[in-house]
Structure 1
Amino acid sequence: MSAPLLFTILNVLGTFVFGLSGAMVAIRHRFDIFGILVLSVATGVAGGMTRDLLLGAAPPEALTTFWPMAVASLAGVTAFFFTSAIERFNRPVMLMDAVGLGVFAVAGCRKALQFGLDPLGAILLGMITAIGGGIVRDIMATETPRVLHEDVYALAAFAGAATYAVALAAGVPETAAASGAVLLAVSLRLASVRLGWKLPRPPRS
């Protein structure tokens, strides 16, 4: 599979699963169909829009092409009609969030590198791309953003973006670098939840 095709698939997948996570949060809060679609679209495109604006790629891709909002809307409709099936998964919002996190961390890093950013800047922008949608979703649903209280969240996105950038610099083929980096980020996020990994916190006074 060519790298452009892989990243097209990853972008569609990331938008869809983030859209699903937004829709499921909306359903949990008993939003109506319009509210579900609003939260689904906001979650699916916010990270990419933030990335594009920071890169100076204005207007953002989500506003100039049809597919990002269409895919996120499809995710909202899917969640609306198949809520029971999705909820059969263990912690579906967390699972979809982890997949979207890994996909967008690598896709965001790649686009930043294509725009000429240094690797460190591209890694940071990849992380911002990955966490942006979840932050918007949680704020709109009046929840504390997961990035502020679930420790291995932004860190998993950073690790995925950094792995991709380092692998490319080491001469690893782009398809392998991207696939491995996404898998690492998703695995770190899922493992941190399952195993209860926590970062150091200040002692209580």
Structure 2
Amino acid sequence: MIQELFTPSVQHWLDLIGIFVFAISGALMAVRKNWDVFGIAALAEVTALGGGLFRDLVIGAVPPAAFTDLGYFLTPLLAAALVFVLHPEVERTQVAVNVFDAAGLGLFCVTGTTKAYDYGLGLTSSAVLGLATAVGGGVLRDIIANEVPSLVRWDRDLYAVPAIVGAVIVVLCIRFDTLNGFTSGVAVLTAFILRLLAMRYHWRAPRAWNRRSAAVEVPEEVS
């Protein structure tokens, strides 16, 4: 089985690391919105677990891991507590948080794709679900916080594209029977580096040609 690329212990810790950094981003947004402690914790949980929960429900991996492993539930609460108490310090380390978020994006698009394929989905559907795993929590975070999701905002650095690239690499490796620990690592690293480069050079997706929209770019908040 494809999931055997990662031992259960390694998979568990990789998931927890990704969950933690995504929860940080959710908790920080709640603080900026001036939400109370419950709101901070709730947004951290949704951001961290939303993508994986959606994936597990689609593929029939029920009950989802978020409801069967206490660590999955407690890790976002730990992140929320840290932000609640130390949010000025966390804000100052935003660059580091963004780096870990990019690493989580790369990891989740790969593990999400492999898990979807392992549960019987086709290559294209597995790649789509890998993308959903990586970006789903952030979309839910923005919707709950009454923001236009960063995923579809033209004035934000590329986020979905690196995840798509990582997922496509995985399904191509599956198609040609070359998926292993090394090629999986290449997929994670590729998505990670693309996201970092997008943040560094502000790469953005093209918009429609000859558009008539009068929309103007607004200053981008750190997220």
TM-score (norm 1): 0.89
* DSSP-derived class of the 2:61 partner: coil
AA paired with 1:3? F
Alignment of 1:2-13 (within 5 A): 3-4=6-7, 5-13=9-17
Alignment of 1:72-151 (within 5 A): 72-91=76-95, 94-149=98-153, 150=156
* Alignment match of 2:173 (pick from 167, 174, 178): 167
Shift of 1:177: 2.4
Structure 1 residues without counterparts, runs of 5 or longer: none
AA paired with 2:203? W
Larger Cα Rg: Structure 1 or Structure 2? 2
AA paired with 2:20? F
Cα separation, 1, equivalents of 2:79 and 2:178: 33
Mapped contact 1:20–1:40 kept (Cα < 8 A): yes
AA paired with 1:161? A
* DSSP-derived class of the 1:82 partner: helix
AA paired with 1:199? A
2:41 aligns with 37
- The superposition leaves residues 34-85 of structure 1 with CA deviations (integer Å, 9 ceiling, x where unpaired) of 1111110111111111001111223322122212111111111122223233
1:197 maps to 2:203: yes
Identical pairs, percent: 37
Shift of 1:171: 4.7
Alignment of 1:10-89 (within 5 A): 10-89=14-93
- The superposition leaves residues 81-127 of structure 1 with CA deviations (integer Å, 9 ceiling, x where unpaired) of 23233222345664444233222111111111110212221111100
Cα separation, 1, equivalents of 2:40 and 2:78: 11
Cα separation, 1, equivalents of 2:94 and 2:133: 25
Mapped contact 1:86–1:92 kept (Cα < 8 A): no
Q: Which moved more, 1:137-146 or 1:191-200?
A: 191-200
Q: 1:151 to 1:132 in 2, by over 3 A?
A: same
Cα separation, 1, equivalents of 2:104 and 2:6: 18
AA paired with 1:25? M
Mapped contact 2:22–2:47 kept (Cα < 8 A): yes
Q: Which moved more, 1:25-34 or 1:97-106?
A: 97-106
Cα separation, 2, equivalents of 1:176 and 1:79: 35
1:153 maps to 2:156: no
Shift of 1:22: 0.5
Cα separation, 2, equivalents of 1:119 and 1:6: 24
RMSD: 2.0
Mapped contact 1:99–1:186 kept (Cα < 8 A): yes
Cα separation, 2, equivalents of 1:161 and 1:109: 6
Q: 1:88 to 1:172 in 2, by over 3 A?
A: farther
- The superposition leaves residues 111-147 of structure 1 with CA deviations (integer Å, 9 ceiling, x where unpaired) of 1111021222111110011111000111111111110
